[in-house]
């Protein structure tokens, strides 16, 4: 049998050639890191609909979540800037001036329009919090009309809305919180509520320890979940704003740090605290038809926006 196989090779139609094994070195291999596998390059060729799938960021404003679509790989390639994201946020919230849009991602204020979103850590399906400032650029007091614009924008449907809180039904968020209310919780609620007949409790004198230490972070805002009514929640935030944050803001405005880096750091620290601890939490308060609670929340947001405006003006000087 062996002669038949050898004969077969002799009759091969291809010319005989001496096979030389290829020389392989380490340079012929490409090693992939976990980052390379997670972030595919812009030249990656996908298949089907995946190749044309847009980049999507989720914008959260009040009780609504909007899906903002951008060209494929715009985030990863660094083509999408914070300024473009701010402009799109102004479109979906129906805000005429994009400068009134405040964007936060993971507690950080996105205030530089020239920075790519990728540099700020944003990626596909990232959630960005949005607050519409009531202070127009160049104004010294909050605008009355912006609240009405926000109410209209909240009620009007939008094509790219993912989740809407503008439905007509009323939700009782506290239906599961009527049991097991101890004396300590009631005491906290009564203290935070103050005068429930008015819009807000009177301002308390500033605390020297809070205002005097500019290097420490402000105390966090109260836990609104332990408070029973929307009015109590709004009044608790007003008390927190006036006792913990406004003294720090007044100290900064009266005597801004002379060092540019220190001035910018203190400005961002106070601004981000007001946005995250007051305004965003105020947006989560649902009056549920309580006119007093609605007015208290409106007064709270205006006072917080006025503080933000004064901080911005002091930082520019």
Residues 221, 159 share a domain: no
Give the pLDDT score at 312: 87
Scanning the structure block, which residue is given the tokens 């007051």? Answer: 278
Residues 189, 312 share a domain: yes
Positions in the chain whose pLDDT score sits under 70: 1-20, 22, 25-51, 134-215
Residues 124, 225 share a domain: no
Query: Which of 128, 81, 78 is CA-nearest to residue 105?
Result: 128
Provide CB contacts within 8 A for 222, sequence distance 6+: 188, 192, 236, 237, 240
pTM confidence score? 0.47
Give the pLDDT score at 171: 45
Residues 191, 274 share a domain: yes
Distance CA 86, CA 160 (A): 16
Q: Give the model confidence (pLDDT) of 33-81 as tens digits.
A: 666 665 555 444 444 556 678 999 999 887 788 999 999 999 999 999 9
Give the pLDDT score at 14: 55
Total number of domains in the chain: 2
Residues 139, 195 share a domain: no
Residues 189, 159 share a domain: no
- 8 A C-beta contact, residue 112 and residue 102: no
Give the pLDDT score at 284: 82
Q: Residue 99: CA atoms inside 13 Å, Cβ hemisphere, count?
A: 8
- 8 A C-beta contact, residue 115 and residue 82: yes
Q: State what percent of residues in the chain have pLDDT above 70.
A: 58
Domain that holds residue 209: 185-316
Cβ–Cβ contacts within 10 Å for residue 135, how many?
21
Give the pLDDT score at 203: 46
Residue 199 belongs to a domain: yes
Residue 29 belongs to a domain: no
SS3 37: helix
């Amino acid at each position: 049998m062996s002669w038949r196989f050898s004969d077969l090779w002799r009759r091969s139609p291809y010319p005989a050639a001496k096979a030389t094994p290829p020389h392989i070195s380490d340079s012929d291999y490409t090693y992939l890191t976990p980052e390379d596998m997670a972030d595919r390059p812009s030249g990656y060729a996908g298949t089907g609909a995946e190749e044309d799938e847009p980049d999507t960021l989720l914008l959260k404003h009040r009780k609504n979540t909007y899906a903002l679509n951008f060209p494929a790989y715009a985030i990863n390639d660094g083509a999408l800037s914070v300024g473009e994201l701010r402009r799109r946020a102004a479109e979906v919230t129906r805000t005429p001036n994009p400068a009134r849009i405040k964007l936060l991602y993971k507690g950080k204020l996105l205030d530089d329009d020239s920075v790519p979103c990728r540099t700020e850590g944003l990626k596909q399906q990232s959630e960005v919090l949005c607050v519409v400032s009531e202070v127009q650029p160049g104004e010294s007091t909050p605008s009355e009309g912006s609240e009405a614009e926000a109410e209209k924008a909240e009620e009007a449907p939008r094509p790219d809305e993912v989740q809407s809180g503008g439905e007509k039904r009323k939700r009782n968020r506290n239906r599961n919180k009527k049991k097991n209310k101890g004396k300590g919780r009631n005491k906290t609620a009564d203290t935070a509520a103050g005068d429930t007949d008015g819009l807000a409790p009177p301002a308390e004198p500033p605390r020297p320890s809070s205002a005097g230490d500019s290097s420490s972070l402000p105390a966090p805002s109260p836990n609104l979940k332990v408070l029973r009514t929307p009015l109590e929640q709004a009044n608790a935030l007003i008390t927190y704003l006036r006792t913990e944050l406004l003294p720090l803001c007044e100290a900064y405005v009266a005597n801004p740090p002379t060092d540019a880096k220190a001035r910018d750091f203190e400005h961002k620290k106070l601004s981000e605290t007001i946005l995250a601890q007051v305004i965003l939490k105020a947006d989560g308060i649902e009056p549920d038809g309580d006119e007093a609670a609605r007015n208290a929340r409106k007064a709270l947001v205006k006072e917080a926006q006025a503080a933000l405006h004064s901080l911005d003006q002091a930082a520019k000087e």
